[in-house]
Structure formats: structure tokens, C-alpha cells
């Protein structure tokens, strides 16, 4: 069962391809190690995808990359992960034009330990399911979503949910940043 909202995000320590611009990457700085404490005091938005060198995955990764500055403005660190190795991530990033300047790290969960701890390892395919988690600065999962391997996610919706969570207020259906939140005292008086 996927970890539920309110649970602590599992501890992890994974190798990754760094999220530097392509022209700043060298063989000496392409790989980094990242753990659950690497971005202390920040929100964490970590999304998993099934495989490198596929068709739906780069569309999602690039779309999250397009919104990187907006996530960054909300003090949130984007991370993507799959069960491919850091070497496969690097090869894919070099050859997939829309991923060349990916501004966030690509985690290599090659043993599937983090995917298993989150219960998102697809046992039939042997890959991570298409999942996204929003984790608050205290390491608590505040949002999770898992979709079918064939169905891409909407990064703008993930950003909208992050905005709502960061209000720490009651947000109605289809709430967007700048909309009014629900005032319980006002609603109770009516």
C-alpha cells in the first residue's frame, strides 16, 4: 500500500544526475548523491516515472522542467526518479533534446528500495509507477498520486496543490493561487 498522506517520507540515499545546465556539466560533476536531508527546510516534490528512453516520460519531465522556476519560487525542490541507473539517466539526458538543460536532479533508484518503501514498484514491469509526492519541510507526505503507467500527469495541477498546501487554509474545489480560501467562522455565521 502506498504511503499515506501524513506519513513520513522514507529515508533514502541515491545517486543522481545533477540538475545543472548542460554546458556546466563535466564528468567530474555530473553525478551527485542525494538523500532526504539534502534539501532541509524546503518542500520536496518528487515524481517517479517508469523508464528512460520512453515516450510519455520525457513529456512529463520536460513539463515539470518548464515549471521549475515556479516551484523554486515556492521554496520547493523538484526531483524525478526511476529505477534506471545514473548512467542511463545521463545518456538519456544527453540525447533527449528537451531534457538537456533539465534544472533538477534525476534520481537513480536502481535497487528499487525507495520505490518499494513507497509501495510504487510495479512488480509486473519491474519499474516505478508513475507517482508524485509533495513532502513538507518536516518530511511529512502532504499529497500523493499514482497513475497508470500509460497516463501522464499534469505538473500544473501538482503546482496548484502545492500552492493550496502552502496556504495552510481550507481551499475549495478548483482553488487557484490568489483565490479566496474558506473562512470557517464566516461560513458558520451565515
Told to judge if 171 belongs to the known catalytic residues of this protein, a careful annotator would answer no
| Secondary structure of the chain as H, E, C letters | CCCCCCCECCCCEEEEECCCCHHHCCCCCCEEEEECCCCCCCEEEEEECCCCCCCHHHHHHHHHHHCHHHHHHCCEEEEEEECCCHHHHHHHHHHCHHHCCCCCCEEECCCCHHHHHCCCEECCCCEECEEEEEECCCCEEEEEEEECCCCCCCHHHHHHHHHHHHHCCECCCCCCCCCCCECHHHHHHC
Cβ atoms of 60 and 152 within 8 Å: the answer is: yes
Which residues participate in catalysis according to the annotation? 57
Amino acid at each position: 500500500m502506498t504511503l499515506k498522506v501524513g506519513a513520513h517520507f522514507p529515508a533514502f540515499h541515491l545517486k543522481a544526475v545533477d540538475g545543472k545546465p548542460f554546458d556546466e556539466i563535466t564528468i567530474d560533476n555530473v553525478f551527485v548523491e542525494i538523500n532526504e536531508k539534502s534539501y532541509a527546510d524546503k518542500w520536496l516534490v518528487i515524481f517517479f516515472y517508469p523508464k528512460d528512453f520512453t515516450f510519455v516520460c520525457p513529456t512529463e519531465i520536460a513539463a515539470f522542467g518548464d515549471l521549475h522556476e515556479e516551484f523554486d519560487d515556492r521554496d520547493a525542490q523538484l526531483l524525478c526518479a526511476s529505477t534506471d541507473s545514473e548512467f542511463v539517466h545521463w545518456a538519456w539526458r544527453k540525447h533527449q533534446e528537451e531534457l538537456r538543460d533539465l534544472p533538477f536532479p534525476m534520481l537513480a533508484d536502481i535497487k528499487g528500495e525507495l520505490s518499494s518503501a513507497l509501495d510504487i514498484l510495479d512488480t509486473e514491469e519491474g519499474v516505478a509507477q508513475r507517482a508524485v509526492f509533495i513532502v513538507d519541510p518536516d518530511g511529512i507526505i502532504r499529497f500523493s498520486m499514482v497513475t497508470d503507467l500509460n497516463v501522464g500527469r499534469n505538473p500544473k495541477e501538482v503546482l496548484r496543490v502545492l500552492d493550496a498546501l502552502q496556504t495552510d487554509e481550507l481551499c475549495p474545489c478548483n482553488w487557484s493561487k490568489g483565490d479566496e480560501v474558506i473562512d470557517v467562522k464566516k461560513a458558520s455565521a451565515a
